[in-house]
A and B are shown apart, each in its own frame.
Chain A
Amino acid sequence: MAKIITDVVCPFCGTLCDDLEVKVSDDGKEILEVYNACVIGTEKFLHSQAEDRLTVPMKQDEEGNWNEVSIDEAVDYTAQMLCNAKKPLMYGWSSTNCEAQSAGHEIAELCGAVVDNTATVCHGTTLIAVQDVGVPSCTLGEVKNRADRIVFWGCNPAHAHPRHMSRYSIFPRGFFTGKGHKARKMVVVDPRSTDTAKMADLHMQIEQGRDYELLSALRVAIRGNPLPETVAGIPRETIQDVAETLKSGRFVVIFFGMGVTQSLSKNHNIDIAIALTRDLNDYTKAAIMPMRGHYNVTGSGQVLGWQFGFPFCVDLSRGFARYNPGDSTSNDLLRRGEVDAVFVLGSDPGAHFPISSVKKIAQLPSVCVDPHYTPTSAVCKLHMPTAFVGVEEGGCAYRMDNVPIETRKVVEPPEGMLSDEGFLERVLARVKEIKGVA
């Protein structure tokens, strides 16, 4: 007899759908089916059952051969590495729970590490913009219940957040939005003709990298001031039309993704997108929200915030927390050769960082904690496999609108396998021993 676990939270993307149902085998060891999730979410669950999954720590010797080691050895290597380093980098944190993040922070504090999360290569620019101008926002339920004007800017939820439109933004019928998508106007700004753009009432096919200009033009249009004939490849009339559409809405939401956070102008794009949202509040109600990617990258920023006061790239190496994006950010540190050990958990910089950074990791003492063998493992000295958070381990995660949800454990991890938090607690204990602190 299989059993069905309900209200399961998907630990893949920032949409953090919490209505999944997972059918597991009677002994609680195997996932048979995943209901309600999108394909990527389903894949995340099924992936935990993959045959090629590592279950024992592996260490690379001088010649580059991988050998199995015990968990004790893995704990000790990690603790020694962090204690011996002058300025270790502890990177990732986005695919794990807040409890593990918290344990990691305590280690980082004792070892004088830099703690950085994946915002450093995605929405870090957003966090900087928020420090400049703030952010008028809301929860996703407000979008569902009130919003009648939806803008997707530089993002493609149809692929990256597949259930976003059906759960929250375009299709659902909410309290004041009984007509669902029929009463919503959807605007997409994207140089590509994405599957999201194809669904839009209005697609502004902007010239690549001209976001700042178009956002600026929209602010001008909203005030009714004159515009040149085209801006960023978009005709004046279209811009005015979009401005009117937004102003005439009862509740406007702008969702934006890495198409604007990581294109030219970076945080300045977000500054002005937020300024546009502010402006709209003089005419109607408007909110703006980043489409955060990893399911708990938002949580990493939150835990760092309440423990150290900054949302990413927090440098603890001097005994107090410093924050200086562009300086204390992972890639800057790696490329300048400023860190002397690298610890990665809950992300895969080997696949996503520039090759110059990855080469540096390969030259340093390094540990990768991940349920799977990843490109990051390939360049690290030690690979420590752990349980899947959100599948084999519960714990808190923050959705893209900062709403915290407790993820659920649905199956047992392979025998003897530690959770991220469990591993970090062991490392913490060892670090305290080495440092001789109580």
Chain B
Amino acid sequence: MAEYLIKNGFVFDPVLGINGDKVDIAIKDGKIVQSTEIKNPTVVDAAGKTVMAGGVDIHAHVAGPKVNVGRNYRPEDKLFTYEPGKGVKRMAGGFSVPTVFRTGYKYAQMGYTTVMEAAMPPLYARHTHEEMRDTPILDQGAYPVFGNNWFVLEYLKNHEVENTAAYISWLLRTTRGYAIKIVNPGGTEAWGWGLNCNSIHDPVPYFDITPAQIMKGLMDANEALRLPHSVHIHTNNLGNPGNYETTLDTFKLFQGEKPNNDFGREQVMHHTHVQFHSYGGDSWANVESKADEIMNYVNNNDNMTMDLGCVTLDETTTMTADGPFEHHLTELNHLKWANTDVELETAAGVVPYIYSPNIKVCGIQWAIGLELGLLAKDPMRVFITTDHPNAGPFFRYPRVMKWLMSQDAREAQMDALKWAEKVRSATLLSGLDRELTLYEIAAMTRAGTAKALGLSHMYGSLKPGLEADVAVYDYNPETAEDPELIEKAFGNAAYLFKGGEIVVKEGEVVSNGNKKTLWVDAKVAENPQVQRDIAEKFMRYYTVTQANYEVNEKVFMKNPYRIEVDATQ
């Protein structure tokens, strides 16, 4: 494989503690190496440019059944977006729910190399894998959802953590999944009857268990399994005024808990798209930001990580396994509503949404997402996302970075809101003069996310031995004045190396790379009871046979990459 030397760039790498120093990065055999190890490299001149590890997205909805519902039922989302195929590129289009090709190209152009699909319904694992297989360039993995799964509800009702863990191990292997995702625990099962769980102590109909017990029990199982990632939570009561209390109640469930793993992960739980969970007030008339209370907790408890879920003020397509929330949303905006309840497992809904700068609440949501980022004391634990496509499309990350890095840019956007004064008074944003640095951005978009995923041995840094995923941006931190340059440069990587190969050159995609699909194989001691329970449930309640449930790696996955964990001890 080719050798490269990326010379003279300003390097930002929180893992190595490199903060804008000019360091040469050497690549050999697909890995980062010491410069002394290469003999005859192709030299890439990065003088005047910013160099970071490839971006790692911890939470986006980019593949699977609900994403495809979004594509197929929104032909209008394709308007003015299509680009013909060229060179190695297939034709590609779509705005908030792009086709798989566009997803791969757009992320690559932002310098991202690894993207996690945040919610995989296990019964639809094949579909999710088929889409990931067809998504070029990116290393991907998918989180199966567990928070409303009947096996989990029944085991945890009886406090059977060991059986829960054995079941999780089986399901991760069977669906080739990466981590334990929880969405509206219990509430989505309640949605099977048109109901919901609005707090973490609301009992789940019939199952006689509470969301709090589900989340805590799954965390115990996660740590017993020593998984690379922690439980990945979207708690109850998303999107409602006053819900910050539910969020804090959820955080507190995990207070003082310790992680157990060999992957360098330090958190016991990741809470996703916290922006949607940080609302005060008791109606849409008086909704206000509670970002300060939320971040106060996060800053003081280092056993958790979170991502922002920044609103980007676009027209987009919301989609979540929080079935009742999507019904609530369609009642609110009267736009089209798709819903699918999945036997024994989960549900999902899809509703288009317009975050209009002319609507007060949208402005408040926009401000809260940024506040969370600006109030974060430890950028290694707080990550940039838009919960793509829920709060906005992923290709707005550079815009979010601009807002986080420039108070002028924030104020300009604030002034452009119709209800700027009302937004100012319901939020804290105008009072925050912090401007995040590139070093902090590197933590929030690669070093921190890779670590939280238990993947710091592969991604997130330019340390020798790691995957040679390197992004070079046409951004000179010494001379750049205009915040617009941030958005422009980080949306158009000058170069992207993926596994040691150049996939983007001067903003153009030149290779489809050699993507990997990551999954976690956690071995547990044999558990005949769980095997029996699985067999019985398939026989009696599923509509596919157990033998037809497993994802066949050869058919459905591109370059499967198994991460082994031994939890038999």
B342 touches A321 (CB 8 A): no
B75 touches A139 (CB 8 A): no
The segment from B367-375, B411-419, B539-547 that touches chain A is B539-547
| CB within 8 Å of B: which A399-422 residues | 401-406
- Asked whether A152 is an interface residue with its Cβ less than 8 Å from the other chain, the reply is no
B341 touches A142 (CB 8 A): yes
With A302-B68, A311-B72: A285-B192 Cβ-Cβ less than 8 Å? yes
Contacts of B257 in A (CB 8 A): none
A321 touches B544 (CB 8 A): no
A135–B134 Cα distance when bound, in Å, is 26
Contacts of B341 in A (CB 8 A): 137-139, 142, 287
With A306-B130, A320-B91: A141-B327 Cβ-Cβ less than 8 Å? no
Contacts of B101 in A (CB 8 A): 307
**New contact pairs (12) apart from A175-B541, A310-B72, A323-B78, CB-CB < 8 Å:** A7-B548, A18-B544, A131-B336, A139-B123, A251-B193, A287-B341, A302-B72, A308-B99, A309-B93, A320-B83, A394-B555, A403-B124
- Asked whether A395 is an interface residue with its Cβ less than 8 Å from the other chain, the reply is yes
- Asked whether A83 is an interface residue with its Cβ less than 8 Å from the other chain, the reply is no
CB within 8 Å: A-B pair count:
187
Contacts of B552 in A (CB 8 A): 406
A146 touches B192 (CB 8 A): yes
- Asked whether A140 is an interface residue with its Cβ less than 8 Å from the other chain, the reply is yes
- Asked whether A383 is an interface residue with its Cβ less than 8 Å from the other chain, the reply is no
B541 touches A145 (CB 8 A): yes
A398–B64 Cα distance when bound, in Å, is 13
- Select which of B85, B336, B339, B342 is within 8 A of A132 by beta carbon: B336
B342 touches A109 (CB 8 A): no
Whole-angstrom distance from the CB of A107 to the nearest CB of chain B? 12
- Asked whether B194 is an interface residue with its Cβ less than 8 Å from the other chain, the reply is yes
B338 touches A404 (CB 8 A): no
B82 touches A134 (CB 8 A): no
Whole-angstrom distance from the CB of B126 to the nearest CB of chain A? 4
B541 touches A305 (CB 8 A): no
Contacts of A306 in B (CB 8 A): 63, 67-68, 71, 99-100, 130-131, 134
- Asked whether B77 is an interface residue with its Cβ less than 8 Å from the other chain, the reply is yes
A134 touches B72 (CB 8 A): no
| CB within 8 Å of A: which B510-569 residues | 540-545, 547-548, 552, 555-556
B130 touches A167 (CB 8 A): no
Contacts of B99 in A (CB 8 A): 306-309
A321 touches B91 (CB 8 A): yes
- Asked whether B74 is an interface residue with its Cβ less than 8 Å from the other chain, the reply is yes
**What does DSSP make chain B's interface, helix, strand, loop or mixed?**
mixed
| CB within 8 Å of A: which B162-204 residues | 191-194
Instruction: Name the residue of chain B whose CB is nearest to the CB of A98.
Output: B130
- Asked whether B254 is an interface residue with its Cβ less than 8 Å from the other chain, the reply is no
Instruction: Name the residue of chain A whose CB is nearest to the CB of B548.
Output: A18
| CB within 8 Å of B: which A110-158 residues | 127, 130-142, 144-146
- Asked whether B340 is an interface residue with its Cβ less than 8 Å from the other chain, the reply is yes
Contacts of B228 in A (CB 8 A): none
- Asked whether A19 is an interface residue with its Cβ less than 8 Å from the other chain, the reply is yes
B342 touches A138 (CB 8 A): yes
A141–B192 Cα distance when bound, in Å, is 12
Contacts of B141 in A (CB 8 A): none
- Asked whether B73 is an interface residue with its Cβ less than 8 Å from the other chain, the reply is yes
- Asked whether A378 is an interface residue with its Cβ less than 8 Å from the other chain, the reply is no
- Asked whether B8 is an interface residue with its Cβ less than 8 Å from the other chain, the reply is no
B343 touches A405 (CB 8 A): no
Contacts of A323 in B (CB 8 A): 75, 78
Q: Mark A373-404, 1 if CB is under 8 A from B, else 0.
A: 00000000000000000000011101001111
Contacts of A135 in B (CB 8 A): 73, 338-339
Chain A residues with CB under 8 Å of chain B are: 6-7, 9, 18-19, 98-99, 102, 106, 109, 127, 130-142, 144-146, 167-168, 174-176, 250-251, 278, 281, 284-285, 287, 301-303, 305-311, 316, 319-321, 323, 394-396, 398, 401-406, 438
Contacts of A398 in B (CB 8 A): 127
Contacts of A287 in B (CB 8 A): 339, 341
B545 touches A7 (CB 8 A): yes
A305–B65 Cα distance when bound, in Å, is 10
Whole-angstrom distance from the CB of A399 to the nearest CB of chain B? 8
Instruction: Name the residue of chain B whose CB is nearest to the CB of A283.
Output: B194
B547 touches A144 (CB 8 A): no
Contacts of A404 in B (CB 8 A): 124, 126-127, 130
B544 touches A305 (CB 8 A): no
Contacts of A319 in B (CB 8 A): 84-85, 91
With A138-B341, A308-B91: A321-B545 Cβ-Cβ less than 8 Å? no
With A134-B336, A174-B541, A311-B72: A396-B134 Cβ-Cβ less than 8 Å? no
A253–B548 Cα distance when bound, in Å, is 25
- Select which of A131, A141, A438 is within 8 A of B75 by beta carbon: A131
Which 4 A-B pairs give the minimum distances between C-beta atoms?
A141-B343, A134-B336, A320-B82, A319-B84
Whole-angstrom distance from the CB of A356 to the nearest CB of chain B? 28
A281–B349 Cα distance when bound, in Å, is 14
Whole-angstrom distance from the CB of A319 to the nearest CB of chain B? 4
- Asked whether B94 is an interface residue with its Cβ less than 8 Å from the other chain, the reply is yes
Q: Mark B321-347, 1 if CB is under 8 A from A, else 0.
A: 000000100100000111111111001
Whole-angstrom distance from the CB of A388 to the nearest CB of chain B? 18
A395 touches B68 (CB 8 A): no
Contacts of A141 in B (CB 8 A): 123, 342-344, 541-543
Instruction: Name the residue of chain A whose CB is nearest to the CB of B133.
Output: A102
A308–B336 Cα distance when bound, in Å, is 21
A359–B150 Cα distance when bound, in Å, is 55
A18–B94 Cα distance when bound, in Å, is 35
Contacts of B65 in A (CB 8 A): 402
- Select which of A7, A301, A307 is within 8 A of B547 by beta carbon: A7
A140 touches B193 (CB 8 A): no
A59–B150 Cα distance when bound, in Å, is 56
A309–B98 Cα distance when bound, in Å, is 7
Whole-angstrom distance from the CB of B120 to the nearest CB of chain A? 12
Find the residue from B90, B94, B124, B192 having the highest chain A CB count within 10 A.
B192
With A138-B342, A141-B542: A305-B72 Cβ-Cβ less than 8 Å? yes
A-B contact pairs, 15 of them (CB 8 A): A7-B547, A98-B130, A102-B134, A131-B73, A139-B342, A140-B543, A142-B341, A144-B541, A250-B193, A278-B330, A285-B191, A305-B71, A310-B75, A319-B91, A396-B126
Whole-angstrom distance from the CB of A50 to the nearest CB of chain B? 27
A305 touches B68 (CB 8 A): yes
A277–B91 Cα distance when bound, in Å, is 37
A403 touches B544 (CB 8 A): yes
Whole-angstrom distance from the CB of B566 to the nearest CB of chain A? 29
Contacts of B541 in A (CB 8 A): 141, 144-145, 174-175
With A18-B548, A309-B99: A109-B338 Cβ-Cβ less than 8 Å? no
A320–B424 Cα distance when bound, in Å, is 43
A134–B206 Cα distance when bound, in Å, is 30
- Select which of B75, B100, B340, B543 is within 8 A of A402 by beta carbon: B340
Whole-angstrom distance from the CB of B517 to the nearest CB of chain A? 15
Instruction: Name the residue of chain B whose CB is nearest to the CB of A404.
Output: B126
Find the residue from B98, B101, B541 having the highest chain A CB count within 10 A.
B541
Contacts of A168 in B (CB 8 A): 543
A131 touches B74 (CB 8 A): yes
A405 touches B134 (CB 8 A): no
Contacts of A144 in B (CB 8 A): 343, 541, 543
A140–B343 Cα distance when bound, in Å, is 8
Whole-angstrom distance from the CB of B206 to the nearest CB of chain A? 8
Contacts of B74 in A (CB 8 A): 131
Instruction: Name the residue of chain A whose CB is nearest to the CB of B90.
Output: A109
A320 touches B124 (CB 8 A): no
- Select which of A139, A320, A395 is within 8 A of B93 by beta carbon: A320
With A142-B192, A144-B343, A307-B100: A130-B338 Cβ-Cβ less than 8 Å? yes
A140–B330 Cα distance when bound, in Å, is 24
A136–B338 Cα distance when bound, in Å, is 5
A309 touches B351 (CB 8 A): no
With A6-B547, A320-B91, A321-B93: A136-B130 Cβ-Cβ less than 8 Å? no
